[in-house]
């Protein structure tokens, strides 16, 4: 785990999120990142077709409330193809198993079930 990704994951796991809808969850995540001192871009465009919810340096973060597992994985695969991404973090309420890396990029999971408001 990169130092930045490790610190982001630790900060997010200490946070609580509003999970009623994805917009509220993204707002909560943004507040948690700001509160932990992480500069971030919201709705960061990786390409004409791909826009990730947050970029924190070279770490991409995608937030999903409840979503189809295959759709989530396919989206993460697309993001992992971009050179700008060195690591990915998925924040979700969906129970999902993920490999340690996708396309050689480490991926980390933050489950909202224990951090929900």
Give the orientation angle of helix 3-13 with respect to helix 22-35, to 10 degrees. 120
pLDDT single digits (tens) 95-108: 788 899 999 999 99
Cα distances (Å, whole numbers) of residue 27 to 2, 18, 34, 105: 25, 8, 11, 26
Q: Looking at 20-24, 30-34, 78-82, 111-115, which range is the least confident one?
A: 111-115
Tell me the backbone φ, ψ of residue 98, rounded to 5 degrees: -130, 150
- What number does CATH give the domain 3-111? 3.40.960
- Comparing 13 with 20, the larger pLDDT belongs to 13
Domain ranges of the chain: 3-111
Query: Is the pLDDT at 18 greater than 70, yes or no?
Result: yes
pLDDT tier for residue 3 given thresholds of 50, 70 and 90: low
pLDDT single digits (tens) 55-95: 999 999 999 887 788 989 999 999 999 999 999 999 988 77
Task: Give me the half-sphere count of Cα atoms (radius 13 Å) on the Cβ side of residue 56.
Answer: 25
Sheet arrangement for strand 59-64:
41-45, 51-56, 59-64, 87-92, 105-111, 101-102
- pTM score, two decimals? 0.90
């Amino acid at each position: 785990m990169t130092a930045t990704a490790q610190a982001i994951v630790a900060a997010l796991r200490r946070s609580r999120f509003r999970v009623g809808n994805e917009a509220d969850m993204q707002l909560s995540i943004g507040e948690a990142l700001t509160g932990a001192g992480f500069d971030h871009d919201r709705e960061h465009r990786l390409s004409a077709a791909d826009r990730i919810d947050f970029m924190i340096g070279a770490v991409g973060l995608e937030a999903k409330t409840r979503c189809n597992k295959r759709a989530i994985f396919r989206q993460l695969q697309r993001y992992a193809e971009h050179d700008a991404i060195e690591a990915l973090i998925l924040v979700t309420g969906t129970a999902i198993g993920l490999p340690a890396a996708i396309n050689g990029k480490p991926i980390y999971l933050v489950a909202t079930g224990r951090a929900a408001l």
